[in-house]
Amino acid sequence: NAGVTQTPKFQVLKTGQSMTLQCAQDMNHNSMYWYRQDPGMGLRLIYYSASEGTTDKGEVPNGYNVSRLNKREFSLRLESAAPSQTSVYFCASSEVKVQETQYFGPGTRLLVL
């Protein structure tokens, strides 16, 4: 039981490049989330998916797209990376009935030059 896994662990991009951050969970959770964490800003919700086939915007969705591929996987795509997207990205999942118990992945550190 690996919990929430994220790939890659670390990535360097040049401005304008695209990439997809992958997230998978093996806890059979319905809800999945993408956050970014910046110094002094805390965790901010980018997108979430309450169930397979649905996605909704969070606090800072601009510049990102998401795909809920199936119940296990939720990916985050940067179409044209900008230096302002340099951050640590966390994926999380939770069960519908206990949404407050979010399980987080180890994070992806992204540097955009």
Partner 1 sequence: QKEVEQDPGPLSVPEGAIVSLNCTYSNSAFQYFMWYRQYSRKGPELLMYTYSSGNKEDGRFTAQVDKSSKYISLFIRDSQPSDSATYLCAMSLNINKFYFGSGTKLNVKP
Instruction: Name residue 102's amino acid.
Output: Q
If one asks whether residue 104 binds partner 1 (CB under 8 A), the answer comes out as yes
Among 20, 70, 101, 111, the residue binding partner 1 under the rule CB under 8 A is: 101
CA triplet 44, 31, 18: central angle to 5 degrees? 55
If one asks whether residue 64 binds partner 1 (CB under 8 A), the answer comes out as no
If one asks whether residue 40 binds partner 1 (CB under 8 A), the answer comes out as yes
Among 15, 56, 80, 83, the residue binding partner 1 under the rule CB under 8 A is: 56
Show the beta-strand stretches assigned E in the chain. Answer: 4-7, 10-13, 19-25, 31-38, 42-49, 56-57, 64-68, 74-78, 87-94, 103-104, 108-112
85 DSSP 8-state letter? G
If one asks whether residue 26 binds partner 1 (CB under 8 A), the answer comes out as no
If one asks whether residue 107 binds partner 1 (CB under 8 A), the answer comes out as yes
If the CB atoms of residues 18 and 51 are measured against partner 1, the closer one turns out to be: 51
CA triplet 69, 84, 12: central angle to 5 degrees? 65
If one asks whether residue 63 binds partner 1 (CB under 8 A), the answer comes out as no
Provide the binding-site residues for partner 1, judged by CB under 8 A: 4, 31, 35, 40-45, 48, 50, 56, 58-59, 90, 92, 99-107
